[in-house]
């Protein structure tokens, strides 16, 4: 996120796209409602599925799934045509504008309407709502990223924000809402195959030498070649290129696409270790299960969506023979011949301060009572709530000239529906914790497939009927919920439920850069089970 959460209270317009905010980020949604009800902000919701936040929106648009680049380009075409862009900001702070303008020439409202299903009037209204606002904020989540065009979708939103001068200002920004409480922190700490902590690239000699010195190992022992991304690991296992896998706190046997193929890949491993707090679907297939601990049973830090590094303190005694995750890793490293000299989470943080420039000033002492947002290079620095103020981190902001590209799999006569997956308010991810709670299970006890009333009438489906939903990869049975949230021709199924594993249907087509799967669009058939 370029801006802190509370900045939405200073925005004139808030574009919300690809995020079911009230169910996936309910606290954030409260800020959005406050922005509307108390501060006069206007919300523009663009989403193929009508979310609850649409009730608070000045305008709601329902494009066809997988057409995000087209409608974003369409808004920019109109903004430039009407002269609503911030030309002074563009001239002073950006580059690549001429190439963008040339690319946008073909994205007329009529052309974009044909791709997206949105009317010309809707496109003009949306362009006016965002293009004339100063400042305006953009919020997005996995409805934007979980596509084969996910990286380009995000770049397109960056184009739109820069076009109107909304980056590096209060109340503006391009703000991804992260899916878990510490996913930002995991990325910051090098949980990616091409970087060390603070996004320092593994193929830079000086970076490897610095970490080699900190860890007391020869620099040539640190491989300059980036490793595999998550979604590349499983196919590599099936090909015999990955022999062993160690998974911590993740349940890919329910959350990854094309689950039959994932099961095949896991079975091909020579050795499989899972570290978790419950015996998940993934842990059940492991050769060894290491009992870790929950968030409430260990010390450390979490980094939230707005890059705020916050202290976490142990509140509960560790049960049974479980161990803190840090202690498991230290003990395992020692048995493999490398002594990690950390006596606490605080010791790890001190090393982070030394080797990570953006975390140099984020010490336990400074965040004892209040968090700090990185970058924070030294202990005199106040932290950086808003990124790119005055100047972009790369110097000038770069516009990308991007074309619409269709999803990897579109409906046809045999599979005429589009399936999209996501979450519901009562459960989180694969339900490892939330489905252990009796109260939450009473609220939402089972998976339900949302079907538009027009489709339901045509297929003779009523609320509660058992459906068979099939794709080229498999089939599941799930009860119907007749709802106008999905558009006609679109079906939505949450992925929390092991009894109806919707990811047996999704396919593993990947974004070429981020390698994220296209969870939000795949072709399916829907039929009533007699």
233 domain residue, yes or no: no
Helix (H, G, I), strand (E, B) or coil at 312: strand
Kindly state whether residues 510 and 440 are assigned to the same domain: yes
Burial status of residue 199 (CB atoms within 10 A of its CB: 0-12, 13-18, 19 or more): middle
Question: At which of 346, 373, 400 does a domain end?
Answer: 373
314 in the same domain as 217: yes
Residues 40 and 170 occupy one common structural domain:
yes
Cα separation, 362 vs 366, in Å, equals 6
Same domain, 173 and 79: yes
Classify the C-alpha dihedral 46-47-49-52 as positive or negative.
Answer: negative
pLDDT at 215: 94
Adjacent-strand bridge partners of 482: 451
* Domain membership flag for residue 390: no
52 and 92 fall within a common domain: yes
Which one, of 479, 486, 473, 483, lies nearest residue 525 by Cα? 473
* Structural domains in the chain (count): 3
In a domain, 241, yes or no: no
Sheet holding 288-291, edge to edge: 244-248, 271-276, 288-291
Domain boundary among 152, 177, 202: 177
Residue identified by tokens 């999209």 is: 420
- Distance, in Å, from the CA atom of 523 to the CA atom of 519, rounded to the nearest integer, reads 11
Cβ neighbourhood burial of 270 (10 Å; 0-12, 13-18, 19+): exposed
- pLDDT tens for each residue of 215-260: 999 999 999 999 999 899 999 999 999 999 999 999 999 888 888 8
Domain final residue pick, 114, 143, 177: 177
Would residue 397 count as lying in a domain?
no
Based on the domain organization, do 91 and 209 belong to the same domain? no
Residues in the chain, pLDDT under 50: none
Q: Tell me, yes or no, whether 121 and 211 share the same domain.
A: no
CATH number of the domain encompassing residue 467: 2.40.40.20
| 220 and 163 assigned to the same domain | no
Same domain, 86 and 194: no
Question: CA-CA distance, 214 to 190, in Å (whole number)?
Answer: 15
3-state secondary structure of 482: strand
Residue 442, domain extent: 417-528
CATH code, domain with 115: 3.40.228.10
Q: What are the tokens at 489?
A: 């021709």
Neighbours of 433 (CB within 10 A): 15
* Spacing of C-alpha 171 from chain mean position: 22
Answer whether residue 159 is part of any domain. Answer: yes
The Cα–Cα gap between 503 and 43 comes to 32
| Residues 189 and 302 grouped into a single domain | yes
Instruction: Give the pLDDT confidence of 127-182 residue by residue, as tens digits.
Output: 999 999 999 999 999 999 999 999 999 999 999 999 999 999 999 999 999 878 88
Residues 195, 334 share a domain: yes
Residue whose tokens read 């070429």: 512
Q: Note whether 29 and 114 are same-domain residues.
A: yes
* 243 within some domain: no
């Amino acid at each position: 996120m370029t801006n802190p959460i509370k900045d939405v209270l200073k925005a004139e317009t808030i574009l919300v796209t690809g995020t079911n905010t009230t169910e996936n980020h309910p606290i954030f949604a409260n800020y959005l409602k406050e922005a509307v009800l108390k501060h006069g902000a206007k919300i523009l919701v663009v989403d193929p599925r009508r979310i609850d936040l649409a009730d608070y929106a000045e305008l709601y648009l329902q494009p066809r799934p997988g057409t995000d680049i087209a409608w974003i380009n369409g808004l920019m075409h109109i903004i430039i045509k009407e002269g609503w862009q911030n030309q002074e900001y563009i001239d002073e702070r950006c580059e690549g504008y001429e190439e963008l303008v040339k690319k946008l020439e073909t994205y007329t409202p009529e052309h974009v309407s044909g791709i997206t299903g949105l009317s010309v009037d809707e496109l003009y209204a949306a362009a006016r709502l965002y293009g004339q606002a100063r400042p305006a904020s953009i919020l997005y989540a996995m409805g934007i990223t979980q596509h084969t065009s996910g990286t380009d979708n995000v770049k397109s939103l960056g184009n739109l924000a820069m076009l109107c001068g909304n980056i590096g200002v209060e109340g503006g920004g391009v703000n991804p809402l992260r899916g878990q409480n510490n996913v930002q922190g995991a990325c910051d700490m090098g949980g990616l195959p091409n970087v060390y902590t603070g996004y320092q690239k593994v193929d830079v000699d000086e970076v490897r030498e610095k970490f080699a010195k900190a860890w007391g190992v020869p620099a040539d022992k640190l491989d300059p070649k980036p490793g595999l991304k998550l979604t590349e690991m499983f196919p590599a296992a099936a090909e015999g290129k990955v022999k062993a896998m160690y998974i911590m706190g993740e349940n890919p046997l329910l959350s990854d696409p094309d689950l039959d193929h994932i099961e095949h890949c896991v079975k091909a491993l020579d050795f499989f270790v899972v570290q978790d707090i419950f015996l998940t679907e993934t842990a059940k297939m492991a050769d060894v299960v290491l009992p870790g601990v929950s968030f409430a049973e260990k010390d450390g830090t979490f980094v939230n969506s707005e890059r705020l590094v916050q202290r976490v303190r142990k509140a509960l005694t560790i049960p049974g023979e479980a161990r803190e995750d840090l202690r498991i890793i230290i003990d395992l490293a020692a048995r493999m011949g490398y002594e990690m000299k950390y006596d606490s989470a605080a010791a790890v943080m001190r090393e982070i301060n030394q080797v990570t420039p953006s975390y140099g000033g984020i010490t336990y002492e400074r965040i004892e009572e209040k968090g700090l947002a990185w970058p924070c290079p030294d202990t005199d620095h106040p932290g950086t709530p808003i990124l790119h103020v005055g100047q972009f981190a790369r110097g000038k902001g770069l516009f990308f000239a991007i074309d619409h590209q269709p999803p990897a799999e579109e409906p046809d006569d045999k599979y005429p529906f589009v399936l999209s997956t996501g979450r519901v308010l009562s459960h989180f991810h694969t339900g490892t914790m939330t489905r252990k709670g009796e109260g939450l299970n009473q609220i939402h006890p089972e998976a339900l497939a949302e079907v538009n009333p027009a489709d339901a009438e045509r297929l003779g489906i009523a609320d509660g009927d058992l459906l068979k939903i099939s794709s080229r990869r498999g089939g599941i049975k799930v009860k119907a919920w007749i709802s106008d949230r999905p558009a006609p021709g679109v079906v939505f199924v949450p992925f929390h439920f092991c009894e109806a594993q919707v990811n047996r249907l999704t396919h593993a087509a990947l974004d070429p850069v981020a390698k994220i799967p296209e969870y939000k669009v795949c072709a399916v058939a829907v039929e009533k089970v007699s």
